[in-house]
């Protein structure tokens, strides 16, 4: 016959509570880590919005950023046409809109909108990217197609 003493019962209860506390702590850490990874947009390469920029009748393009990605993977415009670009940043951190071949660099403040105008004289394909360190590498790249 096994005899349990109050000390043994207390040790068993303490051991169980320690294990339960450890399990809850690990679960909370995993959830917080997942939240940080998602918020930083580190998994966005797995998702492609695949949208096209919204164009309004007065040659204004609305172009968005969200979750460390450009909302539209391709912009199409006509050569020689003046374009008003309305940039909408839905992230809580800044981005930029850059096209090196055109000398275009526009800062996009966090959770804000900016507007810029430009004209591309020659047809071609140009790379759009975010110049904030690490953002291009995280997938903030798109294409500007200028048609004749």
Strand 72-78: give its sheet, edge to edge. 51-52, 72-78, 141-147, 124-129, 95-99, 104-108
At which residue do the structure tokens 């809580």 appear? Answer: 92
Rounded to two decimals, what is the model's pTM?
A: 0.63
Sign of the dihedral through C-alpha 143, 122, 131, 108: negative
Coarse DSSP helix, strand, coil percentages of the chain, rounded to the nearest 5 percent: 30, 40, 30
pLDDT on residue 44: 44
48-147: what fold? Immunoglobulin-like (2.60.40)
pLDDT on residue 12: 63
Q: What is the pLDDT of residues 105-117, one digit of tens each?
A: 999 999 999 999 9
Cα–Cα distance, 135 to 112 (Å, whole number): 18
Using CA atoms, how far residue 13 sits from 7, 16, 18, 23, 108, in Å, is: 10, 5, 9, 15, 56
Flag whether pLDDT at 66 surpasses 70.
Answer: yes
Q: What is the pLDDT of residues 18-55, one digit of tens each?
A: 888 888 889 988 888 876 666 555 444 444 444 445 44
Phi, psi of 119 (to 5 degrees): -130, 135
């Amino acid at each position: 016959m096994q005899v349990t003493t109050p000390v043994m019962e207390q040790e068993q209860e303490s051991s169980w509570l320690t294990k339960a506390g450890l399990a809850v702590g690990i679960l909370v850490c995993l959830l917080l880590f997942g939240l940080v990874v998602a918020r930083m947009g580190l998994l966005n390469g797995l998702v492609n919005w695949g949208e096209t920029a919204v164009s309004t009748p007065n040659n204004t393009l609305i172009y968005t950023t969200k979750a460390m990605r450009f909302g539209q993977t391709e912009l199409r415009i006509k050569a020689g046409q003046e374009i008003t670009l309305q940039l909408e940043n839905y992230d809580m951190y800044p981005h930029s809109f850059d096209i090196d071949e055109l000398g275009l660099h526009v800062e996009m403040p966090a959770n804000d909108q900016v507007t810029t105008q430009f004209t591309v004289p020659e047809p071609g394909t140009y790379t759009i990217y975010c110049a904030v360190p690490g953002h291009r590498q995280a997938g903030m790249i798109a294409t500007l197609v200028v048609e004749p």
